[in-house]
């Protein structure tokens, strides 16, 4: 079994990005600038956003954190989005989801300039990705594709079963795996909450991508010997023995499944760190595209 080490791979990616930024600085070019908008005080969202901002600093990007109060109106949030669209200093930005319940996420995402949409959630980017045109690929599926590429995992003609059909993970990764190209060309089945006999389906899979968010859902008896197992799930489970009072658990019963898999991602330290690295990659791409 080979561990698909997202911590190590994301570190390598960050070093490559940092080297490019250093060269940009030396050539007197503008360095990438990422902004992140967060509305309210949700603990997990604040943690994610601060680690995104910290990562920008690590690679030499400029970063701006826009913190808005919980009771921000839709109109005020849209004004903020319009200001970021117009601000030439900002190359890319994200609006951290989920937004408080009174706000309309779809309207906000649609208002983001696709050229600055480094999360790749705007329909223009999603459509362009599906058509294999230049776009921003959502960071989590982009990170999975990078892991497969960097570990040279053979995906061509393999049967991939993706569990989950969300717009940010399941659906885009199913499109990317089925596209023409190296480390793609897979035959993809998308499973979801209405899928019948998932166990039988998973037992036929050469590649499993699990993105449903149920701890230890994928057990060893669901996995074919030699399968490639990508665990996207991140669930906080209460654990009084940990300093934070919780631990992070994936969708896959790692101990058991690792014994059968050819490649497997751990949680934490697999897909999670890759997601942040790919957000940085998208921001660098946004700067390069603005430049040319
Ligand atoms: P979501 O909650 O939007 O969707 C879950 C999907 O799972 C749905 O499409 C649903 O149909 C499917 N599903 C639910 N029960 C099922 C069942 N019994 N059998 C088959 N399919 C079932 O999911 P999401 O936003 O894609 O997130 C999924 C998980 O990935 C969560 O744990 C989330 O925290 C995690 N996540 C991790 C990263 C990362 O960086 N590693 C990024 C995004 C999401």
Over residues 68-117, the pLDDT tens digits come to 999 999 999 999 999 999 999 999 999 999 999 999 999 999 999 999 99
3-state SS assignment for residue 248: strand
Residue 127 included in any domain: no
Distance between alpha carbon 202 and the CA centroid of its chain, in Å? 23
Atom of ligand 1 at shortest distance to CA of 170?
Answer: 26
Same domain, 58 and 176: no
The residue ranking higher by pLDDT, 169 or 47, is 169
Catalytic residue among 5, 14, 91, 96: 96
Give the pLDDT of residue 220: 98
Same domain (yes/no): 160, 207: yes
Active site includes 96?
yes
Q: What is the pLDDT of residue 247?
A: 95
The residues lining ligand 1, judged by C-beta closer than 6 Å to any ligand atom, are: 140, 163-166, 168-170, 191-193, 195, 198, 211-213, 232-235, 271-272, 275
Q: Tell whether 143 and 91 lie within a shared domain.
A: no
Residue 44: HSE in the Cβ half-sphere, 13 Å Cα cutoff: 10
Predicted pLDDT at 44: 87
CA 101 from centre of chain: 23
pLDDT at 278: 98
The rounded Å distance from CA 25 to ligand 1 centre is 40
Taking the C-alpha atoms of residue 180 and residue 106, their distance in angstroms, rounded to an integer, is: 30
Over range 164-179, report the average pLDDT. Answer: 98
- Within a domain: residue 285? no
Ligand 1 center–CA 170 separation, angstroms? 7
Q: Among 232, 236, 250, which residue has the most ligand 1 atoms within 8 Å of its CB, making it the best to mutate?
A: 232
286 is a domain residue:
no
The percentage of residues in the chain with a pLDDT greater than 90, rounded to a whole number, is 99
Residues 64 and 180 in one domain: no
- The answer to the question of residue 238 being in a domain is yes
Residues 177, 259, single domain; the answer is yes
| Residue minimizing CA distance to atom 32 of ligand 1 | 213
- Residue 279: inside a domain, yes or no? no
Residue 52 annotated among the catalytic residues of the structure: yes
Q: Looking at the 3D structure of the chain, how many domains does it have? A: 2
Task: Look at residue 209 and tell me if it is in a domain.
Answer: yes
Question: Which domain does 103 fall in, by range?
Answer: 28-113
Q: Is residue 263 part of a domain?
A: yes
Atom of ligand 1 nearest to the CA of 251: 32
Identify the three-state secondary structure at position 15. Answer: helix
In this structure, are 167 and 253 located in the same domain? Answer: yes
Condensed to tens digits (0 to 9), the pLDDT of residues 219-267 reads 999 999 999 999 999 999 999 999 999 999 999 999 999 999 999 999 9
* Per-residue tokens: 218: 């994928």
Q: Residue 279 pLDDT > 90, yes or no?
A: yes
Q: Is 119 a catalytic residue?
A: yes
58 & 167 share domain: no
Same domain? For 160 and 203 the reply is yes
12 in a structural domain: no
- Co-location of 203 and 241 in the same domain: yes
How many angstroms separate the alpha carbon of residue 210 from the centre of ligand 1? 8
Q: Are strands 187-191 and 207-210 parallel, antiparallel or unpaired?
A: unpaired
Domain limit, last residue, from 98, 113, 128: 113
Provide the CATH number for the domain around residue 92: 3.40.50.10860
Q: Is the pLDDT of residue 179 over 90?
A: yes
The pairing of strands 246-249 and 235-238 is antiparallel
Q: Does residue 143 share a domain with residue 268? A: yes
Atom from ligand 1 closest to the CA of residue 270: 41
Average pLDDT over the chain, rounded to whole? 97
Pair (196, 257) in one structural domain: yes
Q: Exactly one of 5, 91, 117, 119 is catalytic; name it.
A: 119
- 264 and 146 together in one domain: yes
């Amino acid at each position: 079994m080979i561990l698909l080490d997202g911590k190590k791979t994301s570190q390598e990616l960050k070093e490559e990005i940092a080297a490019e930024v250093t060269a940009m600085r030396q050539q007197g070019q503008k360095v990438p600038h990422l902004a992140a908008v967060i509305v309210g005080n949700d603990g997990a969202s604040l943690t994610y956003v601060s680690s995104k901002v910290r990562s920008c600093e690590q690679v030499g990007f400029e970063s701006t954190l826009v913190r808005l109060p919980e009771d921000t109106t839709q109109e005020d949030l849209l004004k903020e989005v319009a200001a970021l669209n117009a601000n030439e200093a900002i190359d890319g930005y994200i609006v951290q989801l989920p937004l408080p319940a009174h706000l309309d996420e779809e309207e906000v995402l649609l208002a983001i300039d696709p050229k600055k949409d480094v999360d790749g959630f705007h329909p223009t980017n999603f459509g362009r990705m599906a058509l294999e045109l230049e776009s921003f690929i959502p960071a989590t599926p982009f990170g999975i594709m990078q892991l497969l590429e960097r570990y040279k995992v053979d995906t061509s003609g393999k049967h991939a079963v993706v569990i989950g059909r969300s717009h940010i993970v399941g659906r885009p990764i199913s499109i990317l795996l089925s596209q023409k190209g190296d480390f793609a060309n897979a035959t993809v089945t998308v499973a979801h909450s209405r899928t019948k006999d998932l166990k039988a389906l998973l037992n036929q899979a050469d590649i499993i991508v699990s993105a449903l968010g149920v701890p230890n859902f994928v057990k060893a008896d669901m996995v074919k010997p030699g399968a490639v197992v990508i665990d996207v799930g991140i669930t906080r489970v209460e654990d009084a023995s940990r300093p934070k009072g919780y631990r992070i658990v994936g969708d896959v019963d790692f101990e058991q499944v690792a014994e059968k898999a050819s490649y497997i991602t751990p949680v934490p330290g697999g897909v999670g760190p890759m997601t942040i690295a790919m957000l940085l990659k998208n921001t660098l791409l946004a700067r390069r595209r603005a430049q040319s």
